[in-house]
Structure 1
Amino acid sequence: MRRNMRGVSVLAIALPLISGLLVSPGQSEATGRHQPTNGFARSGPWNTKLPRHVPLVPNSAAIVANIKQDKDENYQVWAFNTHTWSSPIYTASWYTPRLRWTFSDCLGLPHLAPVIADTLSSVPTPPGMLVSQGTDNTVAIYQPSTDTYWDFWRAERDANGNWSACWGGKIEHYSRNPGIFTNPLGAAATGLPFGAFLIRIEELRRGRIDHALNIQTVRVRANCNSWPANRNDGNTEGVDFPCEGQRFRLDPAFDVNTLRSPAARTIARAMQEYGLIMSDKSGSLATQAEDPRPYMARNGGVNPYHLLTDPENEIPDDDSYTWLTLADVPVERLQALPLNYGQPR
């Protein structure tokens, strides 16, 4: 089953022709305002709250019906991807060793080597760093001292300790960036960084998520991307399928207190307040949270999601939370916003 819960699909590279919070929530010296927990600019698409009344695309119901059909026909779940088909997030210190990575060219596109060369040239690489489980092998790294962020796809360490990646990207001046890679960089097929949308363990602990989340589904509209995405790998023709980058939100009239899991209640509130952005296509309907394995390595191997998603210990102590956490969030109550909603003019 897991091999189909894909987090990042094969890259749609538009040819020119992280562990825990990426930043600690605290006040910006310049503004005195709290920095969003994803670290990106407050004014970017991820950190901008939706007004209660927003315009919906005229065929919103049809688009949402297709997303629900994807759920019903692919494992009957809205997957909460964490330990597989998501990404670890690492915060690198000033002293983290910097390594020169190599371009692995798993797609047979050697002409892209110069495009990613700067991204790979000097990467702060924590010793013992893990990449995601599954075939995507993704990882996100943020270095606060340089305010720089990297994410990688098909990252791999060889027997000699040398790292390589098939694709990825680097964002300098991270805290001023809206949460969008320069096209065609970035591990996801949309150019949207993991650091912008992954749910953090600490956010679930505090019961508050202050940024938009991601959503992935099986069928996405071919040749269509919506801001903030700057490219796509759409696979299905038709106007009633979601575009990558399109924004959704959970109906604000839905009572999140009816949800069983406290984590689901926290996640659903963020879906109402900040919405969800279609970040990629996948093998099932899914939303992603940070890979817990770096946290587990520091804390005796205890998976924090078990307690956060099921404090009453009502489900088996294994990966069942992946399938059950979002089980009672009503897909049919999603709403599709117009393409390019919120794009600066």
Structure 2
Amino acid sequence: MSVAAGAVMYDSTGATAMAGTTADRPFSTSSPFRTPVAPDDAVDQRSDEVVGPLVESGEVVAGLYEYGIPVWRATPGTARVPVRCDPPGDWGECPLEGDGVPVPAEATPHSGSDGAMVVVDEADGLVYEFWQADRTDDGWVTSWGAVNELNGSGWGGASTGAGASRLAGVVRVDEIRDGRIDHALVMQANEVCREVFRAPALKTDGVSDDPNCVPEGARLRLDPSIDLDAVEMTPGERTVARALQTYGAYVIDRTAVPLSISFELAPDATAHDPGEVYRSAGFAWDYFGMPGIPWEGLQLMEEPR
């Protein structure tokens, strides 16, 4: 597959990652992200109270550009560059500091305040994740980050509020092009619980004390009894809706809008255009609300035991 100059790289030519895991299909088959929701899994008794306010507008926004996730790929020839972490508090030893990180010369974070960026090293089977990253004269500085195993669970580190990998659950450009997503998605919510979280989350950045807040790590699912073929949707919405019925989505971060879903930043995206693949699938602008998806059917699944 051809790649535009200076853009995100998707092809897996020469990849030596463990079987079944690549930059395009990360994490173990036993990962929570690659495990479907069973149709008979229990819905939380408080589902309506928790989910109702999040979908009251009838929209859940797609983060396509400003907060789209740039996924870059290092090769064995990619030079390692120094990374310095400058956290907002005493957070201990930063996993990105040390011997340097193989960051492609053309890599850039997204333009949103999270300054997020992911670098996948398939040869070493590692995923480098940046939060509030910025290039310097001799390397990179970032507020924090994480290093996860490409063949791991998709959970670990502090690049997201819940401790999920920043790569995990992101809707990829090729998935929208192909009309198929074979993993759970990731969501961000504005009413995220303070201190309370659910497995597989490792922590939370929530600040809400609302009794109907949503805990990070919670899994949301689109009611599988809904006949999506009978609902009028754009092709992209249908792809997302099918994934939400089959795999659901984990809440992993706090955001300003009621509910959002993470998408990969397209290689041809601009500040005014999310890219040809997204546009052709009906996502004509950043923060597209996906109103065709029957969000009233979104359910909070019961906490795992």
Report the TM-score range of the alignment, normalised by the length of the smaller protein: 0.7 to 0.9
Amino acid at match of 1:193: S
Contact kept, 8 Å, 1:103 with 1:120, in 2: the verdict is no
Pair 1:231–1:42, CA change in 2 (3 A): same
The unaligned stretches of length 5 or more in structure 2 are 1-6
Pair 1:61–1:168, CA change in 2 (3 A): same
Instruction: For residue 260 of structure 1, report the CA deviation from its aligned partner.
Output: 2.1
Q: What is the aligned counterpart of 2:46 among 43, 48, 59?
A: 59
Pair 1:135–1:120, CA change in 2 (3 A): farther
How big is the alpha-carbon RMSD for the aligned residues of Structure 1 and Structure 2?
2.6
State how 1:122-271 maps to structure 2 within 5 Å.
122-158=100-136, 160-172=137-149, 174-175=150-151, 177-181=152-156, 185-257=157-229, 258-271=231-244
Give the aligned partner of residue 261 of structure 2: 287
1:101 and 2:83 matched: yes
Contact kept, 8 Å, 2:233 with 2:293, in 1: the verdict is no
State how 1:265-344 maps to structure 2 within 5 Å.
265-284=238-257, 285-292=259-266, 294-295=267-268, 303-309=276-282, 319=285, 322-324=287-289, 326-339=290-303, 341=304
Contact kept, 8 Å, 2:148 with 2:165, in 1: the verdict is no
Report which of the two has the higher share of strand.
2
Pair 1:49–1:226, CA change in 2 (3 A): same
Contact kept, 8 Å, 1:218 with 1:281, in 2: the verdict is yes
CA distance in 2 between partners of 1:128 and 1:335 (Å): 41
Contact kept, 8 Å, 2:159 with 2:165, in 1: the verdict is yes
CA distance in 1 between partners of 2:175 and 2:277 (Å): 12
Instruction: For residue 329 of structure 1, report the CA deviation from its aligned partner.
Output: 1.4
Instruction: For residue 308 of structure 1, report the CA deviation from its aligned partner.
Output: 2.5
Instruction: For residue 271 of structure 1, report the CA deviation from its aligned partner.
Output: 0.3
Contact kept, 8 Å, 2:44 with 2:302, in 1: the verdict is yes
Instruction: For residue 187 of structure 1, report the CA deviation from its aligned partner.
Output: 1.4
CA distance in 2 between partners of 1:146 and 1:255 (Å): 43
Q: Give secondary structure in 2 for the equivalent of 1:116.
A: coil
Contact kept, 8 Å, 2:96 with 2:128, in 1: the verdict is no
Pick which of 232-241 and 215-224 moved more: 232-241
Instruction: For residue 67 of structure 1, report the CA deviation from its aligned partner.
Output: 1.5
Amino acid at match of 1:200: R
User: TM-score normalized by structure 2?
Assistant: 0.87
Q: Give secondary structure in 2 for the equivalent of 1:227.
A: coil
Amino acid at match of 1:226: R
Contact kept, 8 Å, 1:38 with 1:196, in 2: the verdict is no
State how 1:24-103 maps to structure 2 within 5 Å.
35=21, 37-69=24-56, 72=57, 77-103=59-85
The unaligned stretches of length 5 or more in structure 1 are 1-17, 311-317
Deviations 1:236-278 (A, max 9, x none): 2244221011001000112223132101101100000000100
Equivalenced residues, count: 292
CA distance in 1 between partners of 2:193 and 2:251 (Å): 11
User: TM-score normalized by structure 1?
Assistant: 0.77
CA distance in 1 between partners of 2:204 and 2:263 (Å): 22
Contact kept, 8 Å, 2:221 with 2:300, in 1: the verdict is yes
Contact kept, 8 Å, 1:151 with 1:169, in 2: the verdict is yes
Pair 1:23–1:334, CA change in 2 (3 A): farther
Instruction: For residue 195 of structure 1, report the CA deviation from its aligned partner.
Output: 1.2
Contact kept, 8 Å, 2:154 with 2:168, in 1: the verdict is yes
Contact kept, 8 Å, 1:23 with 1:38, in 2: the verdict is no
